[in-house]
Structure 1
Amino acid sequence: MYFAALLARTEDGWEASDTELDDVETLSDLADLAREASPDEDTVLVLIEQEDSWFGVVRIDGEEDPRIYVSDAAAAARSSYGEILLTDELLGRDPDDDVLDALDLDGTEDGEDEDDDEDEDEGSGGATSGGSAEAVPHGPVGDAGILDDLGVTEKELKALSDDALTEIADALGASAVLETVR
């Protein structure tokens, strides 16, 4: 079971809103959704969790690039919502490598026989497709200092587990507003 909420910091404190991620396909879409929650360009946190598996925090400060923390990248990679957060940059991948994979070039574009190409694939052991799955580490990835200035240290963030979003909201003084949308 998933839960996702937006926490927007305003001059009156934190405001929470339940958010639907079904129409969100990219990190850019998620950042736009978060920015809409705060017309004054205040800090907005997107909190996402999959029960007993992983949680993620995306921080948007005005027009700055989103900052991301994911508690368990391997678990998040098996989730459609987690895949939104696990960008090439976050995982330390070269985005150009994925472009060639996405094109599905099999060597026949230049007039080569498909049979010759299949022999090459067998010899490679599928390193191209297997390499990307292996690049997703078990454990946390991203900016563990994402909430330092809001009262949750890197060490505290990495130590959170089962009820992480509630503990984050408690530290921010936003637990009551988060519970209204839970």
Structure 2
Amino acid sequence: MYFAALLARTEDGWKASDTELDDVESLSDLTDLAREASVDEDTVLVFIEQEDAWFGVIRVDGEEDPRIYVSNASAAARSSYGEILLTDELLGREPGAEVTIAALEELVGLDGTEDGEPDTPDNHDNHDNHDDNAGTDDDDGPDADVVPAGPLGDTGVLSDLGLPEAELLMLRTDAMAEIADALGAAEVLETVR
């Protein structure tokens, strides 16, 4: 179950609204949605939470690029909303890498025998030796594009708003309520929950 909300900072404090993500297909769409909720180009936070799995915070300050934090990238990668947040830049990949990853995923079951090589113990031994060296010089393999488990992104996204990095990294369940409490926005968030 997902919950998504916007928190827009105003002169009088935070203003909360729930948001539908049905029409959001990209980070750009999500950023536009946040900017529409902004008052005088002030800070807008978008929260997306999948119950007991992961949460994400997107911070939009005026026309600046959005800042993103995801609590568990590998869990978010299995979610259509999480995939929106896990951009190539956030994952440290070259733009367009998802096309390469899709092609590599199609090859996952190949073991070298498709080209007529016999399936012998020698082939497996050589393959095992190659695995011992994986990650040293071969950064083009699938391992270079694996989505990491755990937090990813800008851990200082809420530091200046009252939630230090260390506290953000410790949040697991019901994170939105704890974040809103630290920002002084618990009551307004509760109205849209």
On whether the aligned pair clears a TM of 0.5, the verdict is yes
Is 2:131 the counterpart of 1:131? no
Q: Distance in 1 between matches of 2:90 and 2:53?
A: 19
1:75 CA drift (Å): 0.2
TM-score w.r.t. length of structure 2? 0.78
Q: Match for residue 18 of structure 1?
A: 18
TM-score w.r.t. length of structure 1? 0.82
Q: Distance in 1 between matches of 2:13 and 2:29?
A: 25
Residue 34 to residue 180, structure 1, CA distance change in 2 (3 Å): same
SS state of the match for residue 46, structure 1? Answer: strand
Q: Gapped runs of 5+ residues in structure 1?
A: 104-117, 121-129
Q: Match for residue 76 of structure 2?
A: 76
Q: Distance in 2 between matches of 1:180 and 1:160?
A: 22
Residues 126-175 of structure 1 show CA distances to partners (whole Å, capped at 9, x for unaligned) of: xxxx8279520000000000000001000000001111100000000000
Alignment of 1:56-135 (within 5 A): 56-99=56-99, 119=115, 131=142, 135=146
- Decide which structure has the larger Cα Rg and report it: 2
SS state of the match for residue 95, structure 1? Answer: coil
Q: Match for residue 109 of structure 1?
A: none
Residue 101 to residue 138, structure 1, CA distance change in 2 (3 Å): closer
1:52 CA drift (Å): 0.3
Checking the alignment, whether the CA contact within 8 Å between 2:5 and 2:48 is kept in structure 1 is yes
1:102 CA drift (Å): 7.2
Is 2:178 the counterpart of 1:143? no
Q: Match for residue 54 of structure 1?
A: 54
4+ residue stretches of structure 1 with deviation over 3 A? 96-103
> Letter of the aligned partner of 1:146 in structure 2?
V
Is 2:163 the counterpart of 1:152? yes
Q: Gapped runs of 5+ residues in structure 2?
A: 104-113, 117-140
Residues 103-144 of structure 1 show CA distances to partners (whole Å, capped at 9, x for unaligned) of: 9xxxxxxxxxxxxxx749xxxxxxxxx827952000000000
Identity rate, percent: 76
1:39 CA drift (Å): 4.1
Q: Distance in 1 between matches of 2:73 and 2:144?
A: 11
Q: Distance in 1 between matches of 2:3 and 2:143?
A: 27
Is 2:40 the counterpart of 1:29? no
1:100 CA drift (Å): 5.6
